[in-house]
Amino acid sequence: MAASISRSSAPAGGDAADEEPGTSGAATIGRGPCRLMIATTPAGSMVRLDDTPVGPSPLTIASTCEKHKIELSHARYQAQTRWVMLAADKPQELEVNLPRPTHAVTARRAGRP
């Protein structure tokens, strides 16, 4: 279920503005009847759609109306995966907070087991 993704610098109408109302300045990636607006904390997290890199968040993906796998990653944060089902009549929003990884540290004195 690989998706064809292309970054559009101008909509089909030829207007240089690449934003749609309500996307808060996020770039629109791809072509298709369905829309998914993605925002992450931290911003700039890398977004993959169906195993294809699409770019840093925030962004809006225009794609096919079916189930898609969204992977989000950022250095020093735990990667997250979400599954979304897109519908043509209902643009969706996905907001994800990537957590910091947790670590456990054990300290021992020298000479003691």
Query: What's residue 113's pLDDT?
Result: 61
Angle at 10 between CA 88 and CA 72, to 5 degrees: 60
Q: pTM of whole model > 0.85? A: no
Name the residue ranges covered by the structural domains of the chain.
27-87
Query: What's residue 63's pLDDT?
Result: 96
- Locate all alpha helices (DSSP H) within the chain, ordered by sequence: none
* Full pLDDT tens readout for the chain, 113 residues: 444 444 443 333 333 334 344 445 678 899 999 999 999 999 999 999 999 999 999 999 999 999 999 999 999 999 999 999 999 999 999 999 999 988 888 888 887 66
The structure tokens 């996307």 sit at: 23
Query: What's residue 36's pLDDT?
Result: 97
Query: What's residue 83's pLDDT?
Result: 98
11 Cβ neighbours under 8 A, 6+ residues apart: 17, 18, 28
CB 95 within 8 A of CB 72: no
Query: What's residue 23's pLDDT?
Result: 42
